[in-house]
Amino acid sequence: MSTSAIDSNLLLSNQTAYKKETSSVLGKDDFLKILITQLQNQDPLNPMEDREFISQMATFSSLEQMTNMNQTLTEFTSLLKQNSLIQYSELIGKQVHYTDDQGNEQTSIVQSVRFNGSEVLLELQNGLEVNRSKLTKVSLPVEKNL
């Protein structure tokens, strides 16, 4: 009869413990775990009433719907920001009138359009960058005769 030695790498004392990252926000999975634990540990002589269970399930359903809606709105917002860059790219080569920081109206030609993460900026021929909200007028460039 042959005996084999147990590999020391298989011992629990040699295994690395993995720590789950904790969060202060309860998600839908946490809510469902709490509900299941509550059902498993209820008093069999005094079980949870149907109304309580239905109320908790409705709360869980609402939580799931709000989570899905939040994700959809986040994706929609991102898409709108990308579309605004495409929309304002039509201004390239056009003459724009805008209000500068001193409140004076200025004019220049749009060279390019840039998205800086939260807003669309127009890079002008005069070297300035102008926020799209400062535009007052857009027109075809006026050709100067020499």
Domain boundaries, given as residue ranges, for the chain:
26-87, 92-139
Mean per-residue pLDDT for 66-81? 87
Q: How far apart are CA 107 and CA 125, in angstroms?
A: 10
- Model confidence, pTM: 0.48
- pLDDT single digits (tens) 57-69: 788 788 888 888 9
| Domain at 92-139, CATH from 3.30.2000, 2.30.30, 2.60.120, 1.10.3290 | 2.30.30
How high is the mean pLDDT of the chain?
80
pLDDT value of residue 97: 93
CA dihedral 95, 97, 100, 105 (to 10 degrees): 130
